[in-house]
Amino acid sequence: MKLTSIFAHRGSKGNRPENTLAAFREALSLEIEGIELDVHMTKDKQLVVIHDETVDRTTNGKGFVKDLTLDEIKELDAGTWFSKEYEGEKIPTLSEVLELVKPSNFTLNIELKNDVFLYEGIEEAVLKEVESYSYIDNVILSSFNHYSIRKCLDLYPTLETGVLFMEGLYKPWEYAKYVGATSIHVYEPAAAYYVQMQEANSIPIRTFTVNKDESIEFFIRNHIDAIFTDYPEKALGIRSQIEREGNK
C-alpha cells in the first residue's frame, strides 16, 4: 500500500503562528514527511518566509514585503496576532528555516510567491540558498507562476517541481509534463477527480489544503501522493488508524 505523505502547511498552522520557526519546530516533532512554506523577496533582495504579499495580516506591521528591508521586517512581531503566547516570534529567513530543518531530512516544499510580484532573480536566489545547505535533494519547488517553474528547471534540470493550480484542468498531467514539472499540486475541491487517474498517468498528485477529517481520510484511502494540511498531527492520527485497519 502506497503511503500518503503528510506535509505541514505553513508549518503546524492550525496551532502555531503560520510560517514561523515555532510552527516548523512543531511540525518537525511529528512523524510526518514534509513541511510546506512560502517565500517572498524583500526590498534588499533577501528571502523571507511569509505567505501574503503584505505583512499586514500576520504581523503588527503594514506594507508590502517588497517595499521593506530585511531589518525592517525583523523588527515586526509575527506571533501575537495568533496568540499572546507567541509574542516576539519573527518572520524567518529561508536560511533560518533551512538551518532548522537540515538535521531532519524532511522534504521541504518551497512555494515561490511570485505570481503577483515577479521578484526578479528569486529563482536563482532560492536555488543558491538551498544548495548552500546541501538540501537540494530534499526540496520541491512549486509556484502558481509556471514560467518560474520552467526557469527553475532550466537552472537545475533535475529539480523536483510542482505546478500549482486551483482549477479542474483537462489532462493536467500532460500540461505538467509540457512545462517539465515533476508533480501536480492542486486545490482540494479539484483533486478528488484526479486521484482516480493518478496511477494511469504516473505523475505525483499532491493536494492542498486538506483539513477536514473526512477529506483527510478520503485522500489517504485513495492513495494520493501527499496532502498539505494545517493539522498534521490530526492527519498523522488518521493515517495511522487506516494503516492499523489494513485500509479496509
The three cell numbers locating residue 114: 511570485
The one-letter amino acid at 91: I
Please say if the pLDDT value at position 134 is more than 90.
yes
Domain span at 94:
5-245
Catalytic residue status for 9: yes
Residue 204, domain CATH: 3.20.20.190
- Based on the structure, what is the number of domains in the chain? 1
Question: pLDDT digits over 99-128, tens only?
Answer: 999 999 899 999 999 999 999 999 999 999
Question: pLDDT digits over 65-98, tens only?
Answer: 999 999 999 999 999 999 999 999 999 999 999 9
Catalytic residue status for 51: yes
Which residue of the set 9, 40, 146, 185 is catalytic?
9
With cell 508590502, the residue in question is 64
Of 3, 104, 128, 110, which is closest to residue 49 (Cα–Cα)?
110
Of 48, 142, 140, which is closest to residue 97 (Cα–Cα)?
48
Instruction: Tell me how crowded residue 9 is: count the other CB atoms within 10 A of its CB.
Output: 29
Kind and range of the H or E run holding 242: helix 232-245
With cell 532550466, the residue in question is 154
Q: What is the pTM of this model?
A: 0.96
